[in-house]
Amino acid sequence: MKLMIIIVRNEDDEAVIRELVQKDFRVTRMASTGGFLRRGNSTLLVGVEDDQVDPVTAILRRTCCSPEEGQHRATVFVVNMREYIKV
């Protein structure tokens, strides 16, 4: 399993979350602030199986608006996750 830590601009988070939930991904959203531009961001936590990383990335490419010059649509960290527990 993988944990995807996805940082998107606030103006993109609703569209990204809506599409992820429609595709049956579970998402946790946290408010965050970028250190360089000091703009509001949303950090999304998404637990996925190994073969689901590419479909989630495709959703990000499709739903995030084109960025300003020198910026990216999203920043994604993919981390190995030993287990996923719901209590």
Other C-beta atoms closer than 10 Å to the C-beta of 48 total 20
- The answer to whether 41 and 67 are in contact (CB under 8 A) is no
Tell me the pLDDT tens digit for each residue of 36-66: 656 778 999 999 999 999 999 999 999 998 7
Structural fold of domain 2-80: Alpha-Beta Plaits (3.30.70)
Average pLDDT over residues 7-35: 91
User: Would you place residue 83 in the very low, low, confident or very high pLDDT band (cuts 50, 70, 90)?
Assistant: confident
| pTM beyond cutoff 0.85 | yes
CA atoms of 77 and 69, how far apart (whole Å): 22
CA 85 to chain centre: 20
DSSP-assigned beta bridge partners for residue 5: 45, 77
Provide the residue ranges of all domains of the chain, joining segments of one domain with +. 2-80
